[in-house]
Amino acid sequence: PRPVMPVAYQRISAVPSVGLDGVRHTVLTDSRGSTLVWNVRAALNVAALNCRDMRYQDITRNYGTYLKLHAKGLDGANKAGDADYKARFGKDGIATRETYLTSVYNFFAFPPTMPQFCEAALEVSREAAMPHPEGLEGFSARAFSQFSGVWEGVYRDWEKVRSDMAAWDARYGARSTQ
Read off the pLDDT band of 175 (50, 70, 90). low
**Percent of the chain's residues with pLDDT above 90:** 67
Quick one: pLDDT at residue 178?
A: 46
- Selection from 88, 115, 149 nearest residue 96 by Cα: 88
Q: At a CB cut-off of 8 Å and minimum separation 6, what does 120 contact? A: 146, 147, 149, 150
Q: Is the pLDDT of residue 14 over 60?
A: yes
Angle between helices 114-128 and 57-69 (to 10 degrees): 40
Q: Mind listing the pLDDT tens digit for each residue in 71-99?
A: 999 999 999 999 999 999 999 999 999 99
Read off the pLDDT band of 176 (50, 70, 90). low
Q: Mind listing the pLDDT tens digit for each residue in 112-156?
A: 899 999 999 999 999 999 988 788 999 999 999 899 889 888 888
Q: Is the pLDDT of residue 166 over 80?
A: yes
Mean pLDDT for the chain overall: 91
Q: Mind listing the pLDDT tens digit for each residue in 23-64?
A: 888 888 778 889 999 999 999 999 999 999 999 999 999 999
Element (H, E) at 46: helix 33-50
Average confidence (pLDDT) over 1-23 = 84
Query: 40-62: string of b/e by CB count within 10 Å (b at 16+)?
Result: bbbbbbbbbebbeeeebeebbeb
